[in-house]
Amino acid sequence: MPDFVFEQIAINAGTSPVAGVDEVGRGPLCGPVVAAAVILDPDNIPDGLADSKKLTAKRRDTLYALIVDKADFSVAEASVAEIDQINILQASLLAMRRALDGLARSPGFVLVDGNRLPANLPYPAKPVVKGDDRCLSIAAASIIAKVTRDRMMTALAAEFPGYGWENNAGYGTKQHLEALQTLGVTPHHRVSFKPVHNILYQDI
């Protein structure tokens, strides 16, 4: 389970507040990539924070409400057009930078999930591999980002029924891939992703 060790080291060094940042949605065939940045209150951390992928949807929703109530947070995204233009890795880093820039308080230190940092951050930062499983602030950010993006995809599913986005969040499930063949590509699909690209250009 994640803990508060990374944050406490930064706090002890005088670089607070500490923000954790994570993104969700690198793998799906459609929809934006969504990032969240969270500054936890060291004296009021919700119980049960964990990697969002290891939680049930119901538990994520409960923790989302607790984080929103008890922490400072910001959510941002990079669009499908940006993903197709600059690639999914760079779009993910861009979304994380936007989430950090959206915080009401400028962080003194940032913990970033993964092995790369967004470019030109104006504050010290540390990448944490598998951070959503090791660091409470990043785990909180993963929950905020995951719930936000899942709700986005559920809303889009009502506009574009048949792809199963309310259940698959845009990932390439059997239902989604079959719908791409029968219903076609929507404006929310990532053209640079191979399954979508192949359908668009299969007759060329």
pTM of the entire structure? 0.96
**Do residues 175 and 163 touch, judged by C-beta distance below 8 A?**
yes
- Confirm whether 173 is domain-assigned: no
- Confirm whether 200 is domain-assigned: no
- Confirm whether 63 is domain-assigned: yes
Closest of 38, 100, 96, 109 to residue 70, by C-alpha: 38
DSSP H or E run through 75: strand 72-78
Q: Could you tell me which residues come within 8 angstroms of residue 203 by beta carbon, excluding any fewer than 6 positions away? A: none
CATH classification at residue 137: 3.30.420.10
**Do residues 124 and 2 touch, judged by C-beta distance below 8 A?**
no
Domain holding 140, by residue range, is 5-159
- Confirm whether 170 is domain-assigned: no
d(CA 85, CA 91): 9
d(CA 141, CA 14): 22
Q: How many domains does one find in the chain?
A: 1
Q: Average pLDDT for residues 78-85, to the nearest whole number?
A: 98
- Confirm whether 196 is domain-assigned: no
- Confirm whether 182 is domain-assigned: no
**Do residues 192 and 28 touch, judged by C-beta distance below 8 A?**
no
Strand-pair category, 109-113 with 125-128: parallel
Q: Average pLDDT for residues 18-28, to the nearest whole number?
A: 98
The overall average pLDDT reported for the chain is 96
| pLDDT tens string 115-149 | 999 999 999 999 999 999 999 999 999 999 999 99
- Confirm whether 178 is domain-assigned: no
Distance of CA 69 to the CA centre of its chain: 19
Q: Looking at the chain, which runs of residues are DSSP E strands? A: 18-24, 33-39, 72-78, 109-113, 125-128
| pLDDT tens string 140-185 | 999 999 999 999 999 999 999 999 999 999 999 999 999 999 999 9
Q: Is the peptide bond before 17 cis (omega within 30 degrees of 0)?
A: yes
Instruction: Flag the least confident range among 52-61, 148-157, 193-202.
Output: 193-202
- Tell me which of 199 and 103 has the higher pLDDT: 103
Q: What is the CA radius of gyration of the chain?
A: 18
* pLDDT confidence of residue 200: 84
Q: Could you tell me which residues come within 8 angstroms of residue 10 by beta carbon, excluding any fewer than 6 positions away? A: 16, 18, 108, 109, 111
* pLDDT confidence of residue 203: 57
* pLDDT confidence of residue 204: 45
**Do residues 29 and 190 touch, judged by C-beta distance below 8 A?**
yes
Going by pLDDT thresholds of 50, 70 and 90, the confidence category of residue 201 is confident
d(CA 53, CA 57): 9
